[in-house]
Structure 1
């Protein structure tokens, strides 16, 4: 049963539970919803992950940020979803989201270094004590060098 903290339910790929094409349970964490956009079926990738938008209110459009209170409230929903789906990894989309994620149940991790650039990592602890490794990538809407981030994500999956 989902918590009352969650207004927008996550998308759960049909192969998520067994790790899908990655062999690992991975959550993709977007920042917010836009009510005028639809959903697409992008095949094996989306069937292999849980996708969940952090903010539990709809934004008016792209690049709009939530309020401090909305980011704080969304932390409870994030923990509820992680506790239910037990991801091993979370890949957060965007630096603004990363800087507004909850500090509770958090432990800083070692940076991943690819091509001389440092990418912060850390871990959340679920209510059952399991650890979820977390990192942020640039938001895909702002120019996304796929080859670079693919190498960073591969390094994350080795942690």
Structure 2
């Protein structure tokens, strides 16, 4: 592979990671610009290194792909935390995993697929991030109404 093709693929991987990370950065979430860009870039580099040995005897380049998935799963697991009986970081872990996938797509030269997946990730995060925010806001308002109703009920019993 010539250096121009190598450069194209790693640049596209980095751009995909930056786009995904930018959305996370705007939302104030973990794993923002740098993390997603570096995960995508690293994944692309590992794929490109594996492609170097593609037609060698006794070489299975898909093993590299499998190891990327396992390695990113390990990193993603580190982003998942339990706080006050709530699980946090699942979306961040999924985002990091998807960034790795975009890097793999770029590394394999699957440019159309890279564009489609990057767009889908952004749509899911933007649209459903908004929907999730609205649902949380509604649940908080409903909870506040219950607390107020319980308070008023308890006050009337005392009177």
Larger C-alpha radius of gyration, 1 or 2? 2
Choose between structure 1 and 2: higher strand proportion.
1
Query: What's the TM-score once normalised by structure 2's chain length?
Result: 0.30
Structure with a larger share of its residues in helix: 2
TM-score, length of structure 1 as denominator length: 0.30
- Bigger RCO of structures 1 and 2 (CA < 8 A, at least 6 apart): 2
